[in-house]
Chains A and B, each alone.
Chain A
Amino acid sequence: MMHNSGEDIFNMVLASTVHDMKNSLSMLGESLNFILKQVDIKSLDRQTKNYYGVVQYESSRVNNSLMQLLALYKLENEQLPFNPNYFNLRDFLEEQKLKHLPLLEAKNIECDIQVDEDLEGIFDDSLIATVLENILGNAVRYTRSKILIQCTQDKFTNISISDDGPGYPEEMIELAGNYIRGINQSTGSTGLGLFFAQKIAEIHSHKDISGSILLSNGGELGGGRFEIVIP
């Protein structure tokens, strides 16, 4: 038997449990879609649609929290793979939207992406995807009718997500750069999500400049606005 330190065992148990739960989540999602195919989703009454939204949102939230948890654990133990590569930003952002498509359609939310067709960025796609999945999930949850994903590039790559909802609570915006203090029962996944986003932005550094995130209210659509800057 090979020697295993406590950390190794925890890492192994954590990883295999996460894998197992992700299979369960996949099955939940697929079963739900199967049931929905038997009925016309547009014909559902408002309340049923609402419940459908809850199942979609909550399962994506569980999945996302699991990913963040695993990634943060690995980050602490210097086990997090950071493998930046070139990605077409339009393709990448469209995929992030597709992850939430069933819910966007069910809730009748318009989601626009504004980005140059040929823009390429350098980043770790799976890490940034986990960040955006959480932010976008919350935007879908809190917006009234619209979401706007924008991406521009000067020296850095800037990705922002704006909505026309009530915006971030003032205390959360004031945390700027210190999101660890925002994690508590009442902020739930938003608190963890912002802390995670900050950590992942910081890993993306280039020539002494590290990435960052920015929260504000009253952005393009009048609601909350999240921006991540990747140097």
Chain B
Amino acid sequence: MIKYAEKKTLIIEDFAEFARAVGTMLRDMGINYADTVTSGEAAIQACREKKYDIILSDYNLGPQKDGQQVLEELVAFNLIKPDCTFIMITAEKTAAMVMAALEFQPDSYLTKPFNSQLLKSRLDKAITKKQILSPINRAMLKKDWQKAFSLCDEIASQHKKYQNACTRLKFDCLKNANKLKQALKIVEQIANDRATPWSIKGMASIHYEMGNLKKAEHLFNQMTQEFPMALEGYDWLAKIQHRLDKPAEAQKTLQKAVEKSPKLLKRQKYLGQLAEQNNDFETMTKAYRQAVKFGQNSAFSKADEYVKLTKSLGSQLKGNCNEERSKLIGEAEDLFQQIERKFKDDSCVQFRGAVAHADFSSIIKDKKATDKYLQNANQIFDKIEEHIGASESLEIAESLKALGLNQLAECVLEEAVEQYFDDPDFIKHASKLTNNKHLIKNASKANKLNNEAVKSFKLGDLSRAINAFEKASEIAPNNVNICLNLSQALLKLFQSGDKNADYLFRSEEILSDITRLSVSDPRYLRFSELNRLNQLMLQKLE
């Protein structure tokens, strides 16, 4: 029995009368606690303040965020409990809606109109399933794949009804634990029985992980033919074609998906990137325009699509463009203003924006504006506190070189090479841009030392690893990865017996030198975890 009297419930519905009707149904079920909000923004605010057990959200919420975007943000920003049951209420299940829900699926879709019996039945089932499978999900959240795997077997034997659901979760566990051969065996068995978008994708993604790109390409081709509305197949296929050095084909593949469902920020951005590589600036502009548009209501919107759109407009203006020139110029200037306004606290973005603005001004032959924005860029550069990303650094350096600011370009490259030398694609591009041959040579030296050290670390030879990390760090003192590796090795050496306090002091010193790491940087989590461990061990000393 589910105790509905204890369940905190949130109704997200912009149509007030319908929200009231749902509220009545919930009360009839015994739910005493139900809040109602009328927009996605209000829903996110409500979830910041309270933790709900059940959320019923309409998909269509008026002009701003839709129900799917609400769900994505709630999950991404950790605003709902993992055992919260989320039901999406829809007028009809459309391709655009279901296919936009790739990573974050609601527990259930409920189609209007429905009566209270149906709502109760749906909630009963969704909550029961969640409760029964929750031990598996908890183990998976902790990344304890082995435990999750054995829980799957255990629960499947107790609840025959969820046997197949457990088999599919077993596949996820094996894949995450990198036991690819075993994972492939499971999913092939399921697919032999019956090919569904899920099972084809499962097989293909394993082949992709194994490096069998051709086989993966073949399978995703099959998926897009058999299930043309399962758009995830196109995304994967495009990614693989891109890696197989067929960017024109990749673009065509992705365009098919965009025609069917334009509403995915990530997909539009990837299309823009491919079109840029193919010098198809009309498509590039179109894709980034959509990305900016759909990003308006999304918490995942980044400055990147704004800058890229101005780049694309600039490239169109360089050639014989079909659109009216003054319109494109106006559009770009408007974007630069938005970049200044929306991202005013991010000095990296402001720097990138200023360089892009100068670049654009020089395309439209506005000498005065070009000089003005270059001067801005120079001033902002000194204030930058965080690391500029790899691809952003390349874009900025390239523009600066073209505009004649060699010295600033080399500064940007130098910092970026020190930071991203372990990215072969980045180094390939950077070595074409820089005049400083010394820079690339040093980078490859540091990279080699770092790799050697990682190898020793894995073999358990910690002293040797630390020695090599220290040497690499001498060449690239600001490289965050090396610093983190070194710190980790020192902490491990301390733990593994030789309780020399100097290791902890050295590690603390290294970590305290990392001052330019942005909270949004993917490495930040590792950094803060090491910091925490380091402090914990130091406290125990005293």
Min CB distance B169 to A, Å, is 13
In this assembly, does A33 line the interface, its C-beta being within 8 Å of a C-beta of chain B?
A: yes
**Chain B residues within 8 Å of A82, by CB:** 227, 229
In this assembly, does A111 line the interface, its C-beta being within 8 Å of a C-beta of chain B?
A: no
CA A67 to CA B15, docked complex, whole Å: 21
Chain A 1-39 per-residue mask, 1 if CB under 8 angstroms from chain B, else 0: 000000000000001001100110111011001100000
**Chain B residues within 8 Å of A70, by CB:** 92
Min CB distance A68 to B, Å, is 11
Q: A18-B92, A126-B93 are in contact. Are A29 and B113 (CB under 8 A)?
A: yes
A83 touches B118 (CB 8 A): no
Residue from B92, B117, B164, B227 within 8 A of A67 (CB atoms): B92
Min CB distance B324 to A, Å, is 14
B220-277 contacts to A, CB under 8 A, are: 227-230, 260
Residue from A19, A63, A83, A101 within 8 A of B229 (CB atoms): A83
B121 touches A83 (CB 8 A): no
In this assembly, does B115 line the interface, its C-beta being within 8 Å of a C-beta of chain A?
A: yes
CA A185 to CA B353, docked complex, whole Å: 64
Residue of B nearest to A20 (CB): B91
B113 touches A26 (CB 8 A): yes
B91 touches A22 (CB 8 A): yes
B92 touches A19 (CB 8 A): yes
Min CB distance A100 to B, Å, is 9
B109, B113, B163: residue with the most chain A Cβ atoms closer than 10 Å: B113
**Chain A residues within 8 Å of B260, by CB:** 79
CA A173 to CA B118, docked complex, whole Å: 32
In this assembly, does B17 line the interface, its C-beta being within 8 Å of a C-beta of chain A?
A: yes
Size bracket of the A interface: 35 or more
In this assembly, does B94 line the interface, its C-beta being within 8 Å of a C-beta of chain A?
A: yes
**Chain B residues within 8 Å of A15, by CB:** 92, 94
B229 touches A27 (CB 8 A): no
Residue of B nearest to A34 (CB): B24
In this assembly, does A206 line the interface, its C-beta being within 8 Å of a C-beta of chain B?
A: yes
In this assembly, does B198 line the interface, its C-beta being within 8 Å of a C-beta of chain A?
A: yes
Min CB distance A102 to B, Å, is 6
Min CB distance B158 to A, Å, is 12
B227 touches A23 (CB 8 A): no
**Chain B residues within 8 Å of A98, by CB:** 115, 117-118, 121
CA A99 to CA B115, docked complex, whole Å: 7
**Chain A residues within 8 Å of B93, by CB:** 81, 126
Min CB distance B99 to A, Å, is 7
Min CB distance A64 to B, Å, is 11
A19 touches B60 (CB 8 A): yes
In this assembly, does B506 line the interface, its C-beta being within 8 Å of a C-beta of chain A?
A: no
Min CB distance B34 to A, Å, is 16
Residue of A nearest to B111 (CB): A126
A93-136 contacts to B, CB under 8 A, are: 94-95, 98-99, 101-102, 117-118, 120, 122, 126, 129
Min CB distance B259 to A, Å, is 10
Residue from B98, B122, B165 within 8 A of A81 (CB atoms): B98
Min CB distance B252 to A, Å, is 17
Chain A 31-54 per-residue mask, 1 if CB under 8 angstroms from chain B, else 0: 001100000000000000000000
CA A82 to CA B15, docked complex, whole Å: 29
Min CB distance A199 to B, Å, is 15
A30 touches B21 (CB 8 A): yes
**Chain A residues within 8 Å of B112, by CB:** 22-23, 25-26
B18 touches A23 (CB 8 A): yes
In this assembly, does B363 line the interface, its C-beta being within 8 Å of a C-beta of chain A?
A: no
CA A15 to CA B91, docked complex, whole Å: 9
**Chain B residues within 8 Å of A175, by CB:** none
Min CB distance A198 to B, Å, is 20
Q: A18-B92, A19-B91, A81-B99 are in contact. Are A27 and B18 (CB under 8 A)?
A: yes
In this assembly, does A174 line the interface, its C-beta being within 8 Å of a C-beta of chain B?
A: no
B227 touches A102 (CB 8 A): no
CA A86 to CA B202, docked complex, whole Å: 15
**Chain A residues within 8 Å of B196, by CB:** 84-86, 122
B177-202 contacts to A, CB under 8 A, are: 194-198
CA A18 to CA B92, docked complex, whole Å: 9
**Chain A residues within 8 Å of B98, by CB:** 81, 83
B18 touches A126 (CB 8 A): no
Residue of B nearest to A29 (CB): B113
Min CB distance A128 to B, Å, is 12
Q: A19-B60, A91-B125, A98-B121 are in contact. Are A81 and B115 (CB under 8 A)?
A: no
**Chain B residues within 8 Å of A206, by CB:** 194-195
Chain B 158-173 per-residue mask, 1 if CB under 8 angstroms from chain A, else 0: 0011011100000000
B96-118 contacts to A, CB under 8 A, are: 98-99, 109, 111-118
Residue from B95, B109, B121, B228 within 8 A of A94 (CB atoms): B121
Residue from A23, A78, A81 within 8 A of B94 (CB atoms): A81
CA A129 to CA B90, docked complex, whole Å: 14
CA A83 to CA B198, docked complex, whole Å: 10
**Chain A residues within 8 Å of B165, by CB:** 86
A23, A27, A30, A206: residue with the most chain B Cβ atoms closer than 10 Å: A30
**Chain B residues within 8 Å of A22, by CB:** 91-92, 112-113
Min CB distance B114 to A, Å, is 8
**Chain B residues within 8 Å of A102, by CB:** 115, 117
In this assembly, does A214 line the interface, its C-beta being within 8 Å of a C-beta of chain B?
A: no
A163-180 contacts to B, CB under 8 A, are: none
Chain B 73-94 per-residue mask, 1 if CB under 8 angstroms from chain A, else 0: 0000000000000000001111
A122 touches B115 (CB 8 A): no
CA A70 to CA B93, docked complex, whole Å: 11
Residue from B95, B116, B118 within 8 A of A95 (CB atoms): B118
In this assembly, does A210 line the interface, its C-beta being within 8 Å of a C-beta of chain B?
A: no
B21 touches A83 (CB 8 A): no
CA A30 to CA B228, docked complex, whole Å: 38
**Chain B residues within 8 Å of A27, by CB:** 17-18, 21
CA A67 to CA B111, docked complex, whole Å: 11
Query: A residues touching B (Cβ–Cβ < 8 Å)?
Result: 15, 18-19, 22-23, 25-27, 29-30, 33-34, 59, 63, 67, 70, 78-86, 88, 91, 94-95, 98-99, 101-102, 117-118, 120, 122, 126, 129, 206
Q: List 30 A-B contacts (CB under 8 A).
A: A19-B60, A19-B92, A22-B91, A26-B113, A26-B114, A29-B113, A33-B115, A63-B113, A67-B92, A80-B95, A81-B94, A81-B95, A81-B99, A83-B197, A83-B227, A84-B196, A86-B164, A86-B165, A95-B121, A98-B117, A99-B114, A99-B115, A102-B115, A102-B117, A117-B160, A118-B160, A126-B92, A126-B111, A129-B111, A206-B195
Query: B residues touching A (Cβ–Cβ < 8 Å)?
Result: 15, 17-18, 21, 24, 60, 91-95, 98-99, 109, 111-118, 121-122, 125, 160-161, 163-165, 194-198, 227-230, 260
Report the 9 A-B pairs with minimum CB-CB distance, sorted nearest first. Answer: A81-B95, A26-B113, A19-B91, A30-B21, A118-B160, A126-B93, A81-B229, A98-B117, A98-B118
